[in-house]
Structure 1
């Protein structure tokens, strides 16, 4: 339910796993689908944002009833397996390239309360600067760049960091690498569709497309400028169809087959069908 892998749960006690399950179960129970009757009744919910324009909200759809395993017919199971086979054509399984991924259970993790860019030391006679993240329990971790954040943090960590940078940016002007971090996080959480960056997609030389499942982010790696484009898996960005086709042709890199990976590929395919 929370996207955890077997390696993350291995060695954990029953109570720890139960805590993770209950936390995810609460999120699901509290979630209100955008097309549900409850959401539709909220005042002002007449229009929805659709990639830079507004469209009339459709009539609320009747929520689908989840079927149990016993209710799934052999025909439906066969269709599901056929769909996965098609999605696998756009998926590439790769080994984890970072042995320092933090798999600490969310129930025991303290929130991030501060960050700073500082000199860590020298490496090959060159100064080595890193981002230092500090948690509520006083522990610290060091990260070289935004990609290191995505490899080692989960979504809640990323949300905490964005909130902290946002608050500091409102009170004090950011400079240097702090300003770069602010720009990277804004691109993820609050992209500006009028930014010149999105206008030059035909010139992007796409090299890789990768999923960071722990923080629910997928990244486009480029040759040249921009170097990376980081995006939330559930958020719609102003990507042109030519780029979407390149992404699917390159295949999504993931550590293993997962519901998130398959749903992301389906999400991208749905853009092409619009």
Structure 2
């Protein structure tokens, strides 16, 4: 309501006190319509920067369906089957989920899951280097996401890569940027040292979403600031 009052032809509160209710209501309606037109135009413009996609990525394996809120993540390990390796995420109730790559986790994680995993991996590898290639990738993705530093190679080499796609994982509030030779995962509310050129390419490629959501609109507004 405050937004509409601000748009009511510059009237101050003391001026409104001198007017009849019907007159104030008419002014409010005009302000409301103007704001709605403005909001509808902005929504239409933002929709043009999104594209809903059918998920064709390989789904996670050995997933145990969990209730409304899954128990906390208490650990992870690398599980090997023949020549393939997977992340096995272990929860407090003893159940586990297995994923081939990090992006598969993001489809079923909420923000608490993501933060729990980050704290666990950070506690183990903040002062030592991962041995397994998958753990090295996992720690690199999480560190870039939660602890971005402008001097990191991933940010310094942006100018050398083209944006291939840009996707939102709504359940955990993460968006991923796939560029040539690199994939970057970012929290939707956090600023990262993305160059103007990279930001332009992201918007040109459009944000890939599974469905329209308030988070998608807010992310686009945040990126366009």
Question: What TM-score, normalized by structure 1, do the two folds share?
Answer: 0.66
Give the Cα–Cα distance (whole angstroms) in 1 for the partners of residues 66 and 223 of structure 2.
28
Structure 2 residue corresponding to 1:197, chosen from 154, 160, 163: 154
2:204 to 249, 254, 265: 249
Indicate whether 1:146 and 2:107 are aligned: no
Structure 1 residues 174 and 86: alpha-carbon distance in aligned structure 2, compared to 1, 3 A threshold: same
The Cα of 1:179 is off from its aligned counterpart by 2.3
Shift of 1:92: 0.7
CA distance in structure 2 between the aligned counterparts of 1:137 and 1:165, rounded to whole angstroms: 20
Q: 1:113 aligns to what? A: 74
Rounded to whole Å, the distance in 2 between the matches of 1:256 and 1:133 is: 27
1:264 pairs with 2:223:
no
Structure 2: segments with no counterpart, 5+ residues: 5-27
**C-alpha distance in structure 2 between counterparts of 1:172 and 1:242, whole Å:** 35
Indicate the residue corresponding to 1:44 in structure 2: none
Q: Name the larger-Rg structure.
A: 2
User: CA-atom RMSD, angstroms?
Assistant: 2.4
Determine the C-alpha separation between the residues in 2 that align with 1:91 and 1:240.
20
Q: What is the Cα deviation at residue 138 of structure 1?
A: 0.5
Aligned residue number for residue 18 of structure 2: none
- The CA deviation at 1:75 is 2.0
What is the CA–CA distance in structure 2 between the aligned matches of 1:129 and 1:241, rounded to whole Å?
37
CA distance in 1, matches of 2:53, 2:66: 18
| Secondary structure at 1:214 match in 2 | coil
Distance 2:46 2:3 in 1: 22
SS at match of 1:202: helix
**Cα displacement string for residues 217-264 of structure 1 (whole angstroms, at most 9, x for unaligned residues):** 1111123x22x1111100000001011011101110101111111111
Counterparts of 1:5-84 in structure 2, within 5 Å, are 73-84=32-43
2:117 equivalent among 148, 161, 164: 161
TM-score, normalised to structure 2, is: 0.79
Q: What SS is found at the alignment partner of 1:134?
A: strand
Number of aligned residue pairs: give it: 196
Question: In structure 1, the residue corresponding to 2:122 is in which secondary structure?
Answer: helix
Q: Distance in 1 between matches of 2:73 and 2:222?
A: 31
Question: Is 1:220 the counterpart of 2:181 in the alignment?
Answer: no
Q: Offset at 1:197?
A: 2.1
SS of aligned partner of 2:54: coil
Counterparts of 1:103 and 1:210 in 2: how far apart (Å)?
25
1:78 is displaced (CA, Å) by: 1.8
Q: Where does structure 1 lack aligned partners over 5 or more consecutive residues?
A: 1-63
| Structure 2 counterpart of 1:31 | none
